[in-house]
Amino acid sequence: MTPASRLSAAIEILADIEARRRPAADVLKDWGLSHRFAGSGDRAALAGLVYDALRRRASARWLLGADTPRATLIGMLVLQRGETAQTLAGLLSGERFSPEALSADEQGALASRRLEDAPPEIQADVPHWLWPSFEAAFGADAVQEGRALAERAPVDLRVNTLKATREKLLAELEPLGAVPTLLSPLGIRVPLGPEGRSPSVQSEETFRKGWFEIQDEGSQLAGLIAAARPGEQVLDLCAGGGGKTLEFAAAMDNKGQIFATDNDKRRLAPIHERLERAGVRNVQVRTPRGALPIDDLAGRMDMVLVDAPCSGSGTWRRNPDAKWRLRPSSLADRQKDQAQVLRAGAQAVRPGGRLVFVTCSVLPDENDASVRTFLADHDDFTAMPLGGLAKSAGFSGFGRLASAGGLGLQLSPQRSGTDGFFVAVLQRR
């Protein structure tokens, strides 16, 4: 495919995403199946165009003065990839498989509009209805935080200390340009490849040996703050694919017991293979059959992790289409889910134990607000001070990571160089 034909295909895919409100990954997969002439390089380039356009959808459309898939793509090419009206003329000609040439209106918009004149939510590429909550989270830094969430995410790995050390893994991954993460002592960051492509780290022999897992540095920090210790009894209540379960097992040196479950058994499916590859021996996976299978754990757990359902706003770098599909009703539904799972988790915590509440969100409505509501209904729990949380994770400077409501730590691309995560530790008296 020529560069111009890729642009035409990207506009087509963006139109499909918008018309049918489907996840971008599904639309890209269907497009590839119905256009088998496109090679792997073409499909990768198309995915890059589509995801970058979705990252900058609001600002791109404002720049072009039009709410169309074409405007989304053209605006992104200017804002994200440095194209100009002059360079675009070579790509947009209207000739064979090429998008139509820039119209007079489009040329006028590009010549006269500057993003600095747009409303702050447009500059930040945050949905208009979410802006008050987003601004409450970050204050004067909200625009910069939004822009950081519109960038591509790096690839972070967590060394599995049951099988390797970070130094040993860094030496093995040196050809990929791997470097230590700044905050997590377990993390390694691998730079993106040409055209922003993610390196194929899962093809590395060290991955097959179980030396590392793919895990964002923010998620690693959340696990470190939870501070699972050898010999403890731990419940991972929303375990999903098992990322934090694996982190806990390594921190506990396979000593003690971890119970991993999730209300959606399909999400648990990958955990078994991952546990085997990582050499984990202290995890009991409990597949639900109706209600969560934790009644026998009531009052027994030293630590319960609630990696709660949320908007996923902290992962917009990786899932940019998700922010445009989010609706107020879905946000309210996630808040109800959080309250329910927190209540369930609290019942399993022993006196003196801790309930760790984690979201991959940056919105106070489902972070501090959810913790505040829980504490109001559970007077036998109290929030741990922020200094203690940062000390658990082994890093300083926690003051800059305090959440808007002060009940936990708020990680974000601009603040911590990670995905957006909220972490609060609630101790039972």
Q: Which residues are catalytic?
A: 360
The Cα–Cα gap between 280 and 339 comes to 31
Angstrom CA distances, 284 to 48, 226, 350, stand at 39, 19, 19
Q: Where are the alpha helices (DSSP H) in 80-226?
A: 85-88, 104-112, 120-124, 131-138, 142-149, 166-172, 205-208, 217-226
CA–CA dist 207, 382 (Å, integer): 40
Polymer length of the chain:
429
Other beta carbons within 10 Å of 265 = 13
**Residue 236 known to bind ligand:** no
Is residue 16 annotated as involved in ligand binding?
Answer: no
Instruction: Give CA–CA dist 83/89, Å, rounded.
Output: 10
List, as one string, the DSSP characters of 174-208: GGGT-EE-SS-TTEEEE---GGGPPP-GGGSHHHH
Bridge partners, residue 383, by sequence: 426
Residues tagged in the binding site annotation: 262, 307
Q: Residues marked as binding for S-adenosyl-L-methionine? A: 262, 307
